[in-house]
Amino acid sequence: MEKRKVMYFAHPVNVYNTSLETDLMQFIQESFPEWSIENPNQLKHQEGYKRAGMEYYLKEVLPNMGGVVGLHFSDGRIGAGVFSEEESIFKRTGNLWTLTWDKSLTAVSDIEVLRTLVLTVEETRQRIYTGGKRDNGLKGFFD
């Protein structure tokens, strides 16, 4: 039996544990029924991140992914972490789709077209944190 391909769902942390995350996970699974979907919002990944930061994802998680769906902000901009995950997987596999909160899914054939849309780490933090805490009001998605 052939092993199922695994699709990584790259999305900002302020979407974690929200109804939007649940809804988009279901949409991605329905859109890619032949793939398993890997959500970074899992305890094993949180522990890995605490241990090694982004290196955990870049060296231990992402090399095992066959594709990536990246959630972008409503204005089309891309969080720094999401883009680094997209780029890592795309360079290896060429399989990248962008996703918006309203379920617009687009295949990407040239990642360079996205590079001008990437926010800095500081700009990304400003979008996903309010008062030093994660903003699960989904700041940046419905603005």
Please report, for the chain, the start and end positions of each structural domain, with discontinuous segments joined by +.
5-134
Instruction: Specify the pairing of strand 133-134 against strand 129-130.
Output: antiparallel
The neighbouring-strand residues paired with 9 are 69
What integer is the mean pLDDT of 112-138?
A: 82
pLDDT tens-place string over residues 73-88: 988 999 999 999 999 9
Would you place residue 9 in the very low, low, confident or very high pLDDT band (cuts 50, 70, 90)?
very high
pLDDT at 128: 87
Return the SS3 of 79: coil
Whether the model clears a pTM of 0.75, i.e. scores above it, the answer is yes
pLDDT at 143: 47
**Alpha-carbon distance 121 to 131, whole Å?**
16
CATH number of the structural domain 5-134: 3.40.50
Backbone Cα Rg of the chain: 14
CA 134 from centre of chain: 16
Token readout for 35 is: 């793939």
What integer is the mean pLDDT of 45-74?
A: 94
